[in-house]
Amino acid sequence: MRDCLLYLESVKNIIVESDADTGDAVSFEAIFIGKIFDGLQQWAKEDIVYSLFNLEQGGYINLSALSADNSYADIYVNYVTLLGHEFLDSVRDENRWKGVKNVLSAVRDYSLAAISAAAEGMTSAAISAYFSQQKPTS
């Protein structure tokens, strides 16, 4: 899920078109599943789709899927939500992510809630450590 969010964030899908008569128009260009598969070739397509649907259910992305005959004809991501960006920021750093994975292995809980809690705990600890090292000014 982290890799999906990192990839989605890297895709520039906001389009601003300027027109002398009407001004600027802003739109989002959907990121289709084929492009996501191409960008995440290290993962199985089934794992990518599973992750995207979980990210959508968790409120981390806005996803659209067109169903037909008990399957999906088209899947695309419209954008990463604010919650998705905040979650990604908590696990973006590779060293922090390694620490989060160690915590998850120790507690044997790999849910999004556990990932978020571990990342928040590491952030709080880092902030506390930073402030405890600062010398008071007079």
* DSSP code for 42: T
Instruction: Mark out the alpha helices in 18-136 (DSSP H runs).
Output: 33-39, 45-57, 82-91, 94-107, 112-133
Per-residue pLDDT 10s for the chain (138 aa) are: 999 999 999 999 888 888 778 788 888 899 999 999 999 999 999 999 999 999 999 999 999 998 877 777 789 999 999 999 999 998 888 888 888 888 888 888 777 888 888 888 887 777 887 788 876 666
What's the distance, CA 54 to chain centroid? 11
Residue 88 CB neighbours (<10 A): 19
pTM of the complete model = 0.78
**Contact criterion met (CB below 8 Å) for 88 and 6:** yes
**Contact criterion met (CB below 8 Å) for 45 and 37:** yes
